[in-house]
Structure 1
Amino acid sequence: MKIEQLYGTGVALVTPFAKDGSLDLPALRRVVRHSINGGVDYLVVLGTTGESVTLEPQEKEKVIQTVISENDGALPLVIGIGGNNTAKVAEELKKADLSAFDAVLSVSPYYNKPTQEGIYRHYKVLAEASPKPVILYNVPGRTGSNMLPETVVRIAQDCPNVVAIKEACGNMDQIRELIRTVPSGFYVISGDDITALPTIMEGGIGVISVLGQGMPAQMSRLVRLGLNGEYEAAKQIHEALKPGMDLIFREGNPAGIKAIFESLGIAGASVRLPLVEATAGLKSKISAFIEPFAITI
């Protein structure tokens, strides 16, 4: 894999559902096409936003094949494979057909609350098991533990197959330290829309975005301007998109971004329990936010 494939805007794809809770694969095709046409740089399949934890194995396979088919080689693909059972995740990495994918995104172990040593050893095992480059994913708000910069540096130094981190700690001081201390050839990707531009300005290479799949043209332009050093123009777009970045997470992810797709007529807003669909009040606010952008979305 060329690291340039991870520059710019990646999007963590939703998994659309019909009203009865079944997969809506035609809608997934529309979501993929919308992202490609909007100018994003790569697609992430079966991440948290894709509600992967509530998908059965056969459903995951249908999602994977649908994305591969609709993408048709247009963009690099990243697949989410992670969990809190190290041996099980390693076995999945060994057995999975990853031929269509350029990298694996693997979340730091959740719920168990491992020590930094445990996180390091977890990723060491996964790096040895994975036939594809690995992107770390630090999201303390979901996992219950924070992968510290010194742990990331240690993993990066000892595991050549680990090439980047999706950093969603939300703490710019930690992100700055991370970018300052990681070895050459290891890259930092923002894991939050709200920190995408600040992370790029500190030396990050882009974002894996949620809003970006609903508003791909706008988010991609923001990121490109940032990477080109055109910070004032990028800040203007950031300020315009900031209300949307807030709205889509108010009632949990992916309820908010699915409300955007419903507003755009691309996919329904259904999610699977224990998540619930966005309320009518939030949907109304999201529709009002989207409306001025509708011509260019």
Structure 2
Amino acid sequence: MTLTQTSIGDASVLVRGVSPVLEVPFTWRGEIDVPGFRRVVRHVLGTGVTSVMFPGFASEFHKLSDAERRELTSVLLAETRERPDVAAIIAIQDHATLLAASRAREVVAAGADLINLLPPHFLRPSRQAVLAHVRAVAEAVAPIPVVLQYAPSETGTSLNAKSIVAIARDLPNLKLVKVESSPPGRLIEELGNERPPMLAVEGYAGVQLPDAIRRGAVGTQPGCSFVEIYLEIWRLFAGNEEAAGEALYRRLLPYISYWMLDTELIIATEKLISVRRGLIDSPYCRAPAHVLDTQEIQMVDRFIEEFASLLPSIAF
């Protein structure tokens, strides 16, 4: 058990500010690049973040075998297990409640500091069934903190603030909600206005980040290839330099608003950015995937040039 697991509050407090979702590099043959993933972990932790999440949509979790997930999770936890200053959030996406609870207990035993729970969505289970799933998995790992991921665009799941807070009243380890609705701000504010208030982090590549911050978001969970930009935006807002934060966000927005038109598009884009920066060796995405065309590749190169002062080359 890690130091951050010794009380419910400790690990969840580390999920503040920028909490990146880690990408998974593959070789050109489509195999997981384990040394490359270790570089990703070390680089992202080296930027000063206090938590990271794996595996998420940005990690192509839906294209990993169970054995690959376990191997990569082991690599991550080897880097975080003995560090009280960072938290590893391990995601659980299994559709069956039994399997989700089992996997959640497994990763907690291996050293996960928090669980990120994506509710079941195949064949459109009822809201009652979804909430029962959330309750069962949270109970299975108590008192380890749980982050509930709400991604209606990707999953079609429909939840509201009152139903989420109702579970949290019974399960004090349900600590945070990752809100990825479009826009996320209203739900973030509604969660904060409930009694007791429910804390939220924003996802969806930060497309609505300033609004989410103003409405009470305590963090953001973007991808990891240009985490430094998100860190600077967050630093400016946190330091009461809202105008400067807005200006930097407005420069970023044309890029992320295009890339987030499709999840596979931003996955492919972030990998190419990481290759251009020297973090990983291959931008390979397992099929089915989005193949960047000439204009999209040029867009990546313009992005790297425009933000060069915040995105130094990475050497290992």
TM norm structure 2: 0.86
Match of 2:270 among 245, 249, 257: 257
Q: Give the alignment of 1:130-279 within 5 angstroms.
A: 130-131=141-142, 132-171=144-183, 172-181=185-194, 183-184=196-197, 186-192=198-204, 193-210=206-223, 213-251=224-262, 252=264, 253-267=266-280, 268-279=282-293
Further displaced range: 166-175 or 16-25: 166-175
Contact 1:269 1:277 in 2 (8 A): no
Do the aligned residues in 2 keep the contact of 1:247 with 1:282 (CA within 8 Å)? no
Provide the rounded CA distance (Å) in 2 between the counterparts of 1:154 and 1:83. Answer: 23
**1:6 correspondence with 2:18:** no
**What's 1:116 paired with?**
127
Deviations 1:27-86 (A, max 9, x none): 212222332233323111111211112211221122112223345736211101123211
Residue equivalent to 1:66: 75
* Equivalent-residue separation in structure 1 for 2:195 and 2:290 (angstroms): 39
Secondary structure class of the residue paired with 1:6? coil
Structure 1 vs Structure 2 CA RMSD: 2.0
Aligned residue identity for 1:101: A
| Amino acid in structure 1 at the alignment position of 2:285 | V
Q: Which amino acid aligns with 2:95?
A: N
Kindly tell me: are residues 283 and 261 of structure 1, through their superposed partners in 2, closer, same or farther at Cα, counting changes over 3 Å? same
Q: Which is worse superposed, 223-232 or 264-273? A: 223-232
Deviations 1:226-265 (A, max 9, x none): 2344322221221122123224334524112112112222
Name whichever of 171-180 and 59-68 sits farther off: 171-180
Q: CA deviation at 1:182?
A: 5.4
The unaligned stretches of length 5 or more in structure 2 are 1-7, 312-316
Match of 1:18 among 27, 36, 40: 27
Note the 1:16-95 alignment, pairs <5 A.
Answer: 16-71=25-80, 73=83, 75-95=86-106
Report the equivalent of 2:5. Answer: none
**Cα pair distance change 1:205/1:296, threshold 3 Å:** same
**Cα separation, 1, equivalents of 2:277 and 2:94:** 33
In the TM superposition, residue 155 of structure 1 has moved relative to its aligned partner by 1.7
| TM-score, length-scaled by structure 1 | 0.91
Amino acid at match of 2:117: S
Does structure 2 conserve the Cα–Cα contact (< 8 Å) formed by 1:214 and 1:257? yes
Count of aligned pairs between the two proteins: 294
Q: Which amino acid aligns with 1:221?
A: E
Secondary structure in 2 matching 1:222: helix
Measured in 2, the distance between the counterparts of 1:231 and 1:117 equals 41
Shift of 1:201: 1.1
